[in-house]
A and B are shown apart, each in its own frame.
Chain A
Amino acid sequence: METQLVLEKWPGVISAITIGAAKDEGGSRSNIVKIGGQNSLPLLFKEGTFPNKPKIAFELWDIGGQDWQKELASVYNQEVNDPFAWADKCVNEFKAELLCVKLQGAHPDFGNRSAQASAKFISTLLNRVKVPLIITGCGDDTKDNLVMPLVSEAAKNERCLIGSALQNNYKTLVASALADGHNIIAESPIDINIAKQLNILISDMGLAIERIVIDPTIGALGYGLEYAYSIMERARLAALAGDRTLASPFICFVGQEAWRTKEAKVSLEQGIIWETLTASSLIQSGADLLIMRHPKAAEKVNNFINTLYQG
């Protein structure tokens, strides 16, 4: 007898978010990237529709890879010291569809670059590469509140994804996203209640909830991946059951977590494996956007995604 699959039908749907604006929309991107829009739990293709695959963005820093593990940085050769050449390499050689730029140079401990200089950096980068951008601040709240408004303005109408809004520091960034037409990353510390609250706070300011991407904060394999998994799963179940405040796609900063594990530091090979496994596990947890560092790991994960989505 043939086994009958029990299929669940959910009333909710995850927001579909577009990153990047082409010329006809007032931007200058050569491609745009769409994430989200699914109406079922990850990879249950028989249960729902999945209009967009998970996407990989290559991470790069505005100050080059000076703080990155040497072996990892060396993959990008000399270019790693020149962020524009680095960006070119990601796009041309590794076929990155999307870049994630961290403005680390603005951090008081990493050069304390001015807001104007950071904004100029982004303008130049936007001229240099034509893929859509994810732009994150340096992580110092006070400095980010000075830097991000100018950076956001420099990228006006390019429909970037900018981050990160935090429960105690979101207003400045939300105002910028609203003014300049960007999407926003809402970061919560592996805490579903805060994730939900932050989405409400952001939407209270007038930014549509459909423009928020949740960063649930993840741990690498062996470093709390399962906590992230359970938060993501719980949020998805609520979202699919109809809770719009949690119906946002997930962004996961895989590279930064994987490459700081002691396992990744043992050897480059093991680091690649660690980043690959962390990313592929998160895809099964519902990740929509993976921020990755090693091109080999990105390639493996991309193949994995394509295989999964062949159906």
Chain B
Amino acid sequence: MFIIGELINGMYPQINSAIAERNKKVIQKFALDQITAGADALDLNCGPASSKPLIDMPWLVETVSEVTDKPLCLDSSKPEVIQEGLKAVKYKAIINSTTADLKKLDLLIPLAKEYKAELIGITISAKGIPQNMDQRVELAAEIITYCQKSNFGLENLYLDPVAMPLNLAQEQLTDILKSIREFRILAQPSPKTVIGLSNVSQGTHTHNTHSLINRTFLTLAVAYGLNSAILNPNDKELMDSLITAELILNKNIYCDSYLEAYRRKII
């Protein structure tokens, strides 16, 4: 499982003020803590409150690049913010994200190619969030077709079926899980899949439930073939569940210290 740490997001007050105050230390600590906990890449999001994301995004990229060479996942709905971020990237970037809208694809695929970045394609269109699996698969197919037409290698594409909150769209979660499996058979080589995990528990009210819902959903998603997730790697129980789920699916070889082995990244 390719783990993208979600914590550097201006939605969190601590990050929001660190961005506003240009406090590198706080951002860098969040970066390193997530990597120690198992993150393979870091999501960077200036947050809804940022009044100057065109400046904040490259600052985040530069700040994090001072302490790690892990891939950075530039998270914004505005292509121009992503572009400013890409300019500052020293190592590998992942664009988070394009929708199936032509307007966005037209802008972001050339950028991904120019900066040799990976791309998350989220199955949303101008019509909004799909309501079932078929609509998700249709949008995924549109994104794939566009990539193929533009010579963008599918090995660089992640498809995101859009995780929905359990308390708002309970009836959709099965479809979201099934979509993961369907996406994988849409093309050869199989496109990778990703979800923004915390969406699933959004709006649930106790932290305990929040974490429990996340890890239960992730376990199921792994069984459906999910390759990657944007999540909180500092949630130890979540990571333990993930490691164990992958072990049960025979992706790693068991030994008594398997949790420790995984954490030390020697598996």
Contacts and interface: CB of A to CB of B under 8 A. Distances in A.
A234 B255 contact: no
B254 A245 contact: no
Given A200-B260, A200-B261, A245-B261, A192 B266 contact: no
Interface in B15-33: none
Interface string A223-244: 0000000000011001000111
A165 interface: no
B255 A200 contact: yes
Contact of B253 (A201, A203, A246): A246
A193 interface: yes
B236 to A, nearest CB: 19
A242 B267 contact: yes
B260 A243 contact: no
A193 B256 CA distance: 8
A200 B260 CA distance: 9
Given A196-B261, A200-B261, A209-B266, A243 B255 contact: no
B254 A244 contact: no
Contacts of A201: 257
A197 B257 contact: yes
B151 interface: no
Interface residues of A, number: 17
Contacts of A196: 253-255, 261
Contacts of A209: 266
Interface residues of B, number: 10
B256 A245 contact: no
B155 to A, nearest CB: 12
B209 interface: no
A243 B257 contact: no
B252 interface: yes
Interface in B215-267: 252-257, 260-261, 266-267
Contact of B254 (A193, A203, A242): A193
Interface string A206-218: 0001000000000
A197 B255 contact: yes
Contacts of A203: 266
Contact of B257 (A192, A200, A235, A238): A200
A200 B261 CA distance: 7
Contacts of A242: 267
Contacts of B261: 196, 200, 245
B27 to A, nearest CB: 29
Given A196-B261, A200-B261, A243 B256 contact: no
A196 B267 CA distance: 10
Contacts of A192: 253
A239 to B, nearest CB: 9
A200 B254 CA distance: 12
Nearest to B256: A197
Interface of B: 252-257, 260-261, 266-267
Interface pairs A-B: 9 shortest CB-CB: A196-B255, A197-B255, A244-B266, A243-B267, A200-B257, A238-B253, A193-B255, A197-B256, A245-B266
26 contacts: A193-B253, A193-B254, A194-B255, A196-B253, A196-B254, A196-B255, A197-B255, A197-B256, A197-B257, A200-B255, A200-B257, A200-B260, A200-B261, A200-B266, A234-B253, A235-B253, A238-B252, A238-B253, A242-B267, A243-B253, A244-B266, A244-B267, A245-B255, A245-B261, A245-B266, A245-B267
